[in-house]
């Protein structure tokens, strides 16, 4: 019994129990960090209604390019 008490005393004096406790807390923090929900875990289904502004801008660009192309053709014919 005296040998076991001496080993326990050395462990407590050496701070091994504090290191094990801290390591356990550090592991628990890591587990919580990896299991906690973040913005990367959630996703949103992006559909046409979300991209409507982008499609309108693209359509406006196509219309402007066609207008410029037609105006160049007309300009060179009448010139």
The pLDDT value given to residue 62? 97
**Is 10 strand, coil or helix?**
helix
User: Which is higher by pLDDT, 75 or 31?
Assistant: 75
pTM of full prediction above 0.85: no
64 is written with which tokens? Answer: 């402007």
User: Which is higher by pLDDT, 75 or 5?
Assistant: 75
| Domain definitions of the chain by residue range | 1-43, 45-79
Contacts of 17 (CB under 8 A, 6+ apart): 11
Q: Are 11 and 17 a contacting pair, CB within 8 Å?
A: yes
- Tens-digit pLDDT profile for residues 18-63: 777 777 766 766 666 666 566 665 667 777 788 898 999 999 999 9
11 is written with which tokens? Answer: 């462990």
């Amino acid at each position: 019994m005296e040998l076991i008490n001496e080993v326990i005393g050395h462990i407590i004096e050496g701070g091994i129990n504090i290191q094990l406790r801290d390591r356990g807390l550090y592991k628990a923090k890591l587990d919580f960090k990896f299991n906690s929900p973040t913005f990367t875990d959630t996703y949103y289904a992006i559909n046409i209604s979300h991209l409507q502004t982008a499609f309108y801008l693209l359509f406006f660009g196509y219309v402007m390019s066609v207008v410029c192309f037609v105006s160049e053709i007309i300009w060179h014919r009448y010139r």
